[in-house]
Amino acid sequence: AFFIENNGVIMFDNFPMGSAPKLAHSLVFDGFNATICGLSLTEDGNFQAKLGDSPDSCKQKRIPNIHGFFHITDLDFYRSEPVRKGLEKMFAKCFLCRFPDDQIAVTAPPAILAPERSWQMRDKGFHLDVFHNYKLDGKDPAKPKRFRKYWEDVGKYTLPAADGICPILAAD
């Protein structure tokens, strides 16, 4: 309800995680007529972007990315004409390539077009404790750190409806 009521475009579990290489600036600029010279969070968890007005504005800086393991997105925003056309230009020479990748595709449009509607979950009061790469929400070390043990000791009690329903197939 919070996301919809506040007209969010993306709410993510972890930022920053990784960054797009410096050569991403020209691709982002081609797609959105701006590039991202700086991207951080305000005190209340909104994106705060410093934009460049040419592909060379900040070519010595990498672009920080939203961690791709968990986010909620407004698909109407990502399907909108400015975003769709921008991403088509960014990815024009690539299909299923590693660069540019999905993380810059998820990060660049809201950073440029709607930073005030792009939020980190915890800063908005949502602590989901999503287990990924031995961490909760990409931030805190999981205890215990192995998923099967974490599920047995913690997870099945915090999400009892999934216990016995969702088989754990992957090895730790």
First to last CA, the chain: 35
What is d(CA 37, CA 64) in angstroms, rounded to the nearest whole number?
Answer: 10
pLDDT digits (tens, 9 = 90+) for 111-142: 999 999 999 999 999 999 999 999 999 999 99
Residue 171 has pLDDT above 80, yes or no: no
Beta bridge partners of 69: none
- Residue that is written with structure tokens 């790469």 in the block: 133
- pLDDT, residue 75, reads 97
The residues, ordered by sequence, that sit 6+ positions from 116 with a Cβ below 8 Å of its Cβ are 46, 47
- pLDDT, residue 128, reads 92
- pLDDT, residue 151, reads 93
pLDDT digits (tens, 9 = 90+) for 12-39: 999 999 899 888 999 999 999 999 999 9
Structure-block tokens of residue 7: 């007209």
Do 61 and 22 form a contact (C-beta atoms < 8 A)?
A: yes
The residues, ordered by sequence, that sit 6+ positions from 124 with a Cβ below 8 Å of its Cβ are 2, 11, 44, 45
